[in-house]
């Protein structure tokens, strides 16, 4: 009983302790970082499902191998069998793996489809990769605007209490519980727009408009990085995302328009807008 209470206490404490940093990986944690979207939860359960399947298969093969090593060693089995075929067992070891793969394929395709098909979006944001920073373009009721998000130095990260190499001066701001579509492109080389807690990863390719989407269910600050080796500053291309309430987002959109709309556009993302690739 005492152990149960202690275990419950430890679980409770770690849950509370983990909550403060729920949006990013924690030291000594196991598994994937906490999910902030339904898609990321689906990725998590698929990951666990595969982990169980691969563990069972590995244990089965290990036990089989150990059995063969012991049972058919020279001392225990001096005259080996000359058998070369066994129809039943050959059918079994062909069909069973096929069935396992089909089972995995069904869940895998479900997940791929959910990630790939962009639902009706309430908001479209243009994301452009540059060597080496990201810029974000929004449509506000007052008009379009775009701004650059520059990485902070180590000292600035430390001063602001942000995780090292992940802080930025301006952030990608998203409203909570809203379907957001991202149109992703690049002005120079291939980058990759990735936020692990949201479960998307999409290449930013010069001359192409790729799209992905997300619907974040929890307010907070999230971090991502460029995930395609894009040059010497690749490590220094953080994506810092602030997810705020819908009201706060409206206020921010208004303020951000006044702040950024007058500035020269940092990238070719407006070309996408002009080409009608936004809504
Ligand atoms: Cu990059």
Task: Read off the pLDDT of residues 91-112 as tens digits, 9 standing for 90 and up.
Answer: 999 999 999 999 999 999 999 9
Strand, coil or helix: 24: coil
pLDDT at 17 over 50: no
> How far is ligand 1, taken at its centre, from the CA of residue 25, in Å?
21
CA of 109 to the centre of ligand 1 (A): 28
Confidence bin at 2 (pLDDT 50/70/90) = low
- Look at residues 43, 60, 49 and name the one whose alpha carbon lies nearest to residue 96: 60
**Pair of tokens at residue 149:** 């998000």
**Would the pLDDT of 8 be above 80?**
no
Q: Which two tokens stand for residue 73?
A: 């060693």
Give the residue among 256, 247, 271, 259 at the shortest CA–CA distance from 139: 256
Note the pLDDT of residue 132.
87
190 CA distance to ligand 1 middle (Å): 7
Q: Average pLDDT of 61-82?
A: 94
CA of 272 to the centre of ligand 1 (A): 19
The two tokens of residue 29 are 């944690």
Question: Which stretches of 12-63 are assigned E, i.e. beta strand?
Answer: none
Q: Please tell me the distance between residue 54's alpha carbon and the centre of ligand 1 in angstroms.
A: 33
| Contact between 203 and 189 (Cβ < 8 Å) | no
- Tokens 């791929």, residue located: 112
CB atoms within 10 A of CB 190: 15
Residue 270 has pLDDT above 70, yes or no: no
The alpha carbon torsion through 99, 101, 106, 107 (nearest 10 deg) reads 120
d(CA 203, ligand 1 centre) in Å = 9
**C-alpha 130 to ligand 1 mean position (Å):** 7
- Going by pLDDT thresholds of 50, 70 and 90, the confidence category of residue 29 is confident
**Domains of the chain (ranges, CATH numbers):** 38-78+85-116 (no CATH), 123-274 (2.60.40.420)
Q: Which of 243, 24, 228 is nearest to 134 (CA)?
A: 228
Residue 175: the pLDDT is 96
Task: State the helix-helix crossing angle for 38-71 and 87-116, rounded to 10 degrees.
Answer: 160
Name the average pLDDT for the chain: 86
Split at pLDDT 50, 70, 90, the class of 31 is: confident
């Amino acid at each position: 009983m005492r152990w149960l209470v202690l275990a419950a206490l430890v679980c409770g404490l770690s849950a509370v302790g983990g909550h403060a940093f729920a949006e990013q990986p924690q030291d000594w944690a196991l598994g994937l970082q906490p999910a902030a979207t339904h898609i990321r939860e689906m990725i998590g359960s698929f990951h666990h499902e595969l982990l169980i399947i691969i563990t069972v298969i590995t244990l089965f093969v290990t036990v089989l191998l150990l059995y063969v090593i012991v049972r058919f060693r020279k001392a225990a089995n001096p005259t080996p069998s000359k058998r070369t075929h066994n129809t039943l067992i050959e059918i079994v070891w062909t069909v069973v793996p096929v069935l396992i793969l089909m089972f995995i394929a069904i869940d895998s395709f479900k997940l791929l489809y959910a990630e790939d098909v962009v639902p009706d979006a309430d908001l479209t944001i243009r994301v452009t990769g540059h060597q080496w920073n990201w810029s974000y373009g929004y449509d506000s009721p007052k008009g379009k605007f775009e701004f650059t998000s520059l990485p902070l130095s180590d000292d600035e990260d430390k001063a602001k209490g942000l995780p090292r190499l992940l802080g930025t001066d301006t952030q990608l701001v998203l409203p909570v519980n809203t379907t957001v579509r991202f149109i992703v492109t690049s002005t120079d080389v291939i980058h990759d727009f990735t936020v692990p807690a949201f479960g998307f990863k999409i290449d930013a390719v010069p001359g192409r408009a790729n799209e992905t989407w997300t619907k974040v269910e929890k307010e907070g600050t999230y971090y991502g990085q460029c995930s395609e080796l894009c040059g010497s500053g690749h490590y220094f291309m953080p994506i810092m995302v602030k997810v705020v309430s819908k009201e706060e987002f409206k206020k921010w959109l208004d303020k951000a328009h006044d702040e950024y709309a007058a500035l020269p556009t940092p990238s070719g993302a407006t070309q996408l807008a002009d080409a009608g690739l936004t809504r």
